[in-house]
Structure 1
Amino acid sequence: MTLGQDESALVFRVVEDRTTLNRTVSVAVVDDDPRLRTLLEEELKDLGVDPVLCDNGAELMALLQQRPVALILLDLMMPVMDGFACLDALREQRSSIPVVVVTAHGDSSYRQRVLDAGASDYVLKPQLFERLPRLLTRYVTGEQPRSSGSA
């Protein structure tokens, strides 16, 4: 599936509008794989978003005490505080920040477990970069992408 220019343009337009209002769009990337964090950091910057990088859920929880983020991209299997513990902590704090779980586990029962734990969405790692503009459109801008199917 190829991303449409309209979707990428929408992300750029909304980010530009928010920047004009002195509101930077920040997205937390929570993953213990430094290579994936670096790739996501570059991609998010290219989309005009301010990436904030965390090694694990504990770092994310500390970060959220210091600054807001518009979206969390969360791995599940991490040291210190894994993704499920992080989802539990966010739920206890009644966080309204959308969380997209990014994982290699494609099992449908696993997907349901993640959504039941409070995640807004679930993306397989091999599909993440293809789906990233749509995820930003849906969860950061609040607008539905024009194409059919889920983000």
Structure 2
Amino acid sequence: MAVNILIVDDDPDIVELMRFYLQREGFAVVAAADGVQALELAEEKKADLAIIDIMMPKMDGWALCEQLKAEYPDMPVIMVTAKGETGHKLKGFHLGADDYLVKPFEPLELAARVKSLLRRYRIQSQMKVQIGNVMLDKHRYAAIVGGEDELDSPPIALPLREFDLLFKLASHPGQIFTRNDLIEQVWGADFEGDDRTVDVHIKRIRDRFVELDCRFVIETKRGLGYKLEVAE
């Protein structure tokens, strides 16, 4: 499945330049001319990374970056502007931007930065996550206690939802997720069941690992949700 890149810029020439080079690298590209349209496309097209111009109509790049990061904390954001002042860069980073590019830029540099950010976020290759001494392997939906050596520790197969839930928490140790966050990101926004199903699945996960030396714990944060912490 191709990685979806969201370009947000009201200059059609810039958009087409970026589109050409990114598509040449194998990325799927969707473009928006302003921040309002970008928010709609980010959800509709399931964007993996956003490239945002600062000066735009309706909603500027600052506001868009802040809102995207609030709604999609796993989405890398590159800010693009014609101005290279340090103050602009600091403001972008403060709002959650991951990288910064000043016009005019080399298209090949843009493509390289996109690839670098995707590697950092492991969007293309994150099939395994290590938590404590447990390796979660998304290829087999299994957990391996003690590392990847199956001879020492046979993998523990997990039901799909339990694995996805644990994988989500393990990918962001220390981050608190509300039940609604987990429902939307694991079960999907169209899930019609009770959000307490999260509690049931968390209990099952805890029960599976309670007697093993796994060196991680899923904490309940009363009134907030859950987070995974790795033992020192």
Q: What TM-score, normalized to structure 2?
A: 0.49
CA apart distance, 1:138? 1.0
**Equivalent position to 1:140, from 115, 118, 138:** 118
SS at match of 2:104: helix
Runs of 4+ in 1 over 3 A off after TM superposition: none
Pairing 1:97–2:75 present: yes
Q: What residue in structure 2 maps to residue 149 of structure 1?
A: none
**Equivalent position to 2:5, from 27, 36, 40:** 27
Pairing 1:64–2:35 present: no
1:91-130 alignment to 2 at 5 Å?
91-130=69-108
Encode CA deviations 1:3-47: one digit per residue, 9 max, x unaligned.
xxxxxxxxxxxxxxxxxxxx2111111000011111111111111
Q: Does the Cα contact within 8 Å between 1:26 and 1:49 map onto a contact in 2?
A: yes
Consecutive unaligned residues of structure 2, counting only runs of 5 or more, are: 122-232
Q: What residue in structure 1 maps to residue 15 of structure 2?
A: 37
Q: Does the Cα contact within 8 Å between 1:56 and 1:82 map onto a contact in 2?
A: yes
Q: What residue in structure 1 maps to residue 53 of structure 2?
A: 75
SS at match of 1:41: helix
Q: 2:100, 2:41 → 1: CA distance?
A: 22
Q: 1:37 corresponds to which letter in structure 2? A: V
Q: 1:75, 1:92 → 2: CA distance?
A: 18
CA apart distance, 1:128? 4.4
Distance 1:38 1:131, change over 3 A: same
Q: 1:28, 1:128 → 2: CA distance?
A: 18
Q: What TM-score, normalized to structure 1?
A: 0.74
**Equivalent position to 1:51, from 7, 14, 29:** 29
Consecutive unaligned residues of structure 1, counting only runs of 5 or more, are: 1-22, 144-151
Distance 1:116 1:138, change over 3 A: same
Please give the root-mean-square deviation of Cα atoms over the aligned residues, in Å: 1.6
SS at match of 1:80: coil
SS at match of 1:126: coil
CA apart distance, 1:142? 3.0
SS at match of 2:105: helix
Kindly indicate whether structure 1 or structure 2 has the higher relative contact order, using CA contacts under 8 Å at least 6 residues apart. 1
